[in-house]
Amino acid sequence: MKLNYLLAVLVLTLFSCQQTSEKSAQTEEIKLTEAQQLLSKYITVKLEADLSHLDDNQRAMIKKLIKASEIMDDLYWYEAFGDKEKLLATINDPDLLTYIKINYGPWDRLDDNNPFIEGYGKKPATANFYPTDLTKEEFNAAELENKDSQYTFIRRNDDGELITIPYHVQFAEEVKEAATLLREASALAVDEGFKNYLSLRADALLNDEYKTSDLAWMDMKSNSIDVVIGPIENYEDELFNYKTAHEAYVLIKDMEWSDRLSRFTSFLPELQMGLPVEDAYKQDKIGTDADLNAYDVVYYSGNCNAGSKTIAINLPNDEEVQQMKGSRRLQLKNAMRAKFDQILLPIADVLIEDEQRNHITFDAFFANTMFHEVAHGLGVKNTINDKGTVRRSLEEHASAIEEGKADILGLYMVSQLHAKGEIEGELEDYLVTFMAGIFRSVRFGASSAHGKANMIRFNFFQEFGAFERNEETGKYRVNFEKMTEAMNALSAELLTLQGNGDYSGVDQLINEMGKIGSQLQIDLDRLSDANIPVDINFEQGIEVLGL
């Protein structure tokens, strides 16, 4: 009996161990599957460009610019999260590690910045620009020099009092190294404008005085290589939209495409005056000295590389520089093509009615994206009632409303230029491609300024009847006449909110219309079920370029 009992216990123990082992293996498998599911939101694309026309000096210059950009990446990690190495050292799963790097932290930028790693709460609105316990009330009450500067961190001293630390002080070693690389690149440059800009930008990294280098950047016309580098956009600061985050793009100019685009800037004053809003909201004078060019991007780093990837640039953001020189609009053609082929076309197959599917074209996608950037220059930069700049008046909502304005005024520009015979193709191409583009961008989620802007536009268009959904097929078709009416109405509303500096009105609009409805969510889930990625992730760098 005793022997039989012992045998029974042994069998049960072995069986139990086997179950525990199998359960552990299943848990590990589920964990890995979850990480892979997260990664499936992105499709990896090699970031390449034709460099055959570049000489040895230009190739060496690109390598130095990429190395300087890698430093910007580290600075952005600190701004967005904090101690990068401490976080990465805790992760053993390579897929999860990749997803953390895509998001620059443990928060999913395509899921309203919710955490995807245990132990973290929702991403703080402060990012790492301010103490995470800081309230708006405490900040506003603090008598602190340069507290609302774009280039200072807010910290607490040992007594808990708020202090400011300039970027160039916080990052003294890093910006010194980056400045050296920019100066070495400047020494290799033949184009005098680019040579001067690189030298001035190196100075700016060391003292946080960027206006002079912004002006120099605006004066460049003939350079075939370009770089956008430094603390630039303020999306990461969701508390006030004051603080700018570091990023960099290394770019190769497409001379042929740029030549095709250059003529459109001459129409800007006329388009400004024709905006569908009262005269007070379009009183800014629009210059025609702005650049409109196409580029192949060969390196992204920092803010522009976090989560969903930028495919066009409108800079500089400094309102004074814009008033003096206008702005430059850079279309990132190779990145744009990747998103069109890998994401927009598959979305159209699932959600656009078959009879309108032929209206989805790359030329329309390129134009809609391009005129979005151009449209940032339309409207007003300062409120009409002495509340200061639009950006300061609307605080954390400024970016979402500005992106919404640029989207809708971009479509307005397309319709006006098409009517004048200045752009080719059918107007329907631009409208249907614009509609498909909403489905693409709205998947970025509420944490993105672009995502909020697209949600507002989708819901506004829906109320206007600008599109209809076929209940049988689950596909959408554009009502062209009503879409034009909706475009004008939304343009007027957003321009008025901006011009009035109407924070409460913008807050109400975002709360009411900046959300995904249940039916739309079901349709977006169909895109995920069809394994259509939300965005692209780049395999990039010196080796990928063959340098």
Report, in angstroms and rounded to the nearest whole number, the Rg of the chain calculated over CA atoms.
25
- Domain for residue 474, yes or no? yes
Model pTM? Answer: 0.84
The parent domain of residue 496 ranges over 268-287+352-516
Model confidence at 4, pLDDT cuts 50, 70, 90, reads: very low
Query: Order of strands across the sheet with 312-315?
Result: 225-233, 245-253, 291-302, 328-332, 312-315
Tell me the HSE value of 512 on the side-chain side, using a 13 A CA sphere: 8
Taking the CA atoms of residue 259, residue 405, residue 537 and residue 90 in that order, the dihedral angle to the nearest 10 degrees is: 140
- Domain for residue 467, yes or no? yes
pLDDT higher than threshold 50 for residue 24 = no
- Domain for residue 450, yes or no? yes
- Domain for residue 401, yes or no? yes
Would you call 194 exposed, middle or buried from its count of C-beta atoms within 10 A (0-12, 13-18, 19+)? buried
Output the DSSP codes for 283-323.
-SPPPS--EEEEEEEEEEEEGGGSSSPP-EEEE---HHHHH
Q: Which pairing describes strands 245-253 and 291-302: parallel, antiparallel, or unpaired?
A: antiparallel
Q: What is the pLDDT of residue 251?
A: 98
Share of the chain above pLDDT 70, in %: 93
Would you call 469 exposed, middle or buried from its count of C-beta atoms within 10 A (0-12, 13-18, 19+)? middle
- Domain for residue 443, yes or no? yes
* pLDDT per position as a tens digit, 268-315: 889 899 999 999 998 887 765 667 899 999 999 999 999 999 999 989
Place of tokens 């109407």: 502
Q: What is the pLDDT of residue 323?
A: 80
Q: Are the C-beta atoms of 249 and 302 separated by less than 8 Å? A: no
* pLDDT per position as a tens digit, 113-124: 999 999 999 999
Q: What is the pLDDT of residue 169?
A: 98
Return the structure tokens found at 85: 């190495």
- Domain for residue 173, yes or no? no
- Domain for residue 481, yes or no? yes
pLDDT higher than threshold 80 for residue 543 = yes
Q: What is the pLDDT of residue 12?
A: 42
- Roughly what angle, to the nearest 10 degrees, separates helices 211-219 and 192-207? 160
Q: How many residues does the chain have?
A: 547
Domain count, the chain: 1
* pLDDT per position as a tens digit, 320-378: 888 888 788 899 999 999 999 999 999 999 999 999 999 999 999 999 998 888 888 88
- Domain for residue 165, yes or no? no
Model confidence at 33, pLDDT cuts 50, 70, 90, reads: low
DSSP type of residue 177: H
Share of the chain above pLDDT 90, in %: 77
Q: What is the pLDDT of residue 289?
A: 60
Q: What is the pLDDT of residue 443?
A: 87
Q: Are the C-beta atoms of 513 and 460 separated by less than 8 Å? A: yes
